[in-house]
Structure 1
């Protein structure tokens, strides 16, 4: 599943935790664990949701939907 997550993020560039969990058919906690692997390798970064991104200043989004990750594609090999 790590490779599927990698391929999905590489293709999309950015995705929410909810999107990735749905795509992989997994729960959000499991996806967070997989993301931790890629974050530790410097390949993925969690992005902050800027208040200007929506009209609700980050108070209206479910927390998982506001959890956005970006593929960086650099870092340690592997």
Structure 2
């Protein structure tokens, strides 16, 4: 049920940060990441890590707000 919810959310929203997906599901970022890994292994979700816009590495940005996921209609080979 949660995997289907993730699929619909990503299809509707486009690229979304991990913290927003977790909030939508009412789950922790770590639990949400684990569910997203299922879709990644199936080639249906792509992950993108974003560097802070400021270009520094001060650590003030929450890591789960810098990790984006998007639904991929095409199943990747491999």
TM-score (norm 2): 0.83
Do 1:49 and 1:58's aligned partners in 2 also have CA atoms closer than 8 Å? no
Do 2:44 and 2:72's aligned partners in 1 also have CA atoms closer than 8 Å? yes
Q: Structure 1 residue 48: deviation in Å?
A: 2.9
Do 1:16 and 1:68's aligned partners in 2 also have CA atoms closer than 8 Å? yes
1:66 corresponds in structure 2 to 66
Q: What are the ranges of 5 or more consecutive residues in structure 2 without an aligned counterpart?
A: none
Tell me the SS of whatever aligns to 2:22. Answer: helix
Q: Structure 1 residue 58: deviation in Å?
A: 5.9
Distance 1:57 1:8, change over 3 A: same
Q: What are the ranges of 5 or more consecutive residues in structure 1 without an aligned counterpart?
A: none
Aligned partners of 1:72, 1:62: CA distance in 2, in Å? 25
1:24 corresponds in structure 2 to 25
RMSD: 1.6
Give the length in aligned residue pairs: 73
1:8 corresponds in structure 2 to 9
Moved over 4 A (4+): none
